[in-house]
Amino acid sequence: MKRVDDFRLKFGKKEFVPIMVGGMGVDISTAELALETARLGGIGHISDAMVPDVSDRRYDTSFVKDKTRFYKANIDNADKSIIKFDLGVLAEATRRHVEATMQAKGSEGLIFVNCMEKLTMNGPRETLQVRMASALDAGIDGITLSAGLHLGSFGLIADHPRFRDAKLGIIVSSVRALQLFLRKNARLERKPDYVIVEGPLAGGHLGFGMDWAQYDLATIVAEVVQFMKTEQLDIPVIAAGGIFTGGDAVSFLEQGVAAVQVATRFTVANECGLPAEVKQDYFRASEADIVVNTISPTGYPMRMLKGSPAIGAGIRPNCEAYGYLLDGNGNCAYITAYNREVALHPDSKTISVMDKTCLCTHMRNFNLWTCGHYTYRLKDTTRRLADGSYQTLSAEHIFKDYQFSVDQKVALPE
């Protein structure tokens, strides 16, 4: 019976354990998690979501405080169009996070950064360009383009000296999105180095509508693998979303993918950035506790625990401090929803907004508990301690379980 370790992901002459740990913003996929993954011979991700805030917490900078102070006079203004990111600060924050991570890497494994297009930051093109270019400057091994079609993203860094040597990949949820991406970038004569196919059972935002349940990863992967063959493209395809055991991974590897990308199993790793008590909520979750809803202002459905404090919260929009989802004209769907509720309840001290959430604030504070579909199986991957809590696991334990387990077995910790 085959196991994941019988396969290798090849990038040129280099070979890797075919396990990628997916990017989880805001600092849920920490540098520590990415470094462990790389040490074990796989590919880890950090995320550049809200990187000035991540820098403040990790490297003692004061980027968020400075920005809030700068835009203080605008806090009570419903119009957020004047709020812009200082591109120098964005470059500096990215550089700090990437450089510190890469300097700590002493292994042959790789570390990529996850770059979401939906973080439009009231200046979609220039902010994305700075994020990607600074990550390349700081020595990142590769960039995974996610949460968006990224039709112009390669073009934004085409002049960068590392454009052709860094690994660049994209996450798609359909063969059509991939075709579109390749067509739009044909003139650059630079194909992606890998394509991650993310199905509807993943955590985070979904590249599907609310009819997500009608799609399945294996079918989309088969379509993409067939497309690569027909077009004679030699690009590794990586499957993601709901791959919970080594056995699940092997079935995709046997279907012709070069690797798998996984995340949910690692949300309960010691190295994962979620607070300890939130990890216990992930362990405790039952299937009925997990929901896909449309409260993310990005417009994409998102999967999360029903108990997430972000659901129904009616806080004042925090765009002066954050503003990562401002669309370029100062709009965000949460601001609209919030102002509507304020107008409807002029005398209320606290309001509740059910249809949208202030994603920046709640992701930053770990109050939006996004998770994969199989989160309810996490409790079966560990032991219960005497006090009733669940034992968190080392990233190494989870990684090796994927790498060496056979069948549908999951190894419990010592």
Question: Does residue 201 belong to the site contacting ligand FMN (CB under 6 A)?
Answer: yes
Residue choice 30, 101, 114, 245 for contact with ligand FMN (CB under 6 A): 114
The smaller minimum CB distance to ligand FMN, of residues 201 and 333, is found at 201
Per CB under 6 A, 320 contacts ligand FMN: no
Closest to ligand FMN by CB, 61 vs 173, is 173
Binds ligand FMN (CB under 6 A): choice among 134, 264, 367, 382: 264
Verify binding: residue 247, ligand FMN, rule CB under 6 A. no
203: contact with ligand FMN by CB under 6 A: yes
Binding mask 210-229 for ligand FMN (x = CB under 6 A): --------------------
Residue 261 binds ligand FMN (CB under 6 A): yes
Binder of ligand FMN out of 119, 371, 393, 410 (CB under 6 A)? 371
Q: Determine, following the binding rule CB under 6 A, whether residue 18 of this chain makes contact with ligand FMN.
A: no
Among 262, 321, 393, 395, binds ligand FMN (CB under 6 A): 262
CB-nearer residue toward ligand FMN: 236 or 241 = 241
Is residue 101 within the footprint of ligand FMN (CB under 6 A)?
Answer: no
Interacting residue with ligand FMN among 17, 135, 263, 332 (CB under 6 A): 263
Binding mask 24-63 for ligand FMN (x = CB under 6 A): xx--x------------------x-x--------------
Burial class of residue 328, CB neighbours in 10 A (0-12, 13-18, 19+) = middle
Is residue 242 close enough to count as binding ligand FMN by CB under 6 A? Answer: yes
Least Cβ distance, residue 339 to ligand FMN (angstroms): 27
Which spans of this chain sit near ligand FMN (rule: CB under 6 A)?
22-25, 28, 47, 49, 114, 116, 146-147, 171, 198, 201-204, 240-243, 261-264, 267, 370-372, 374
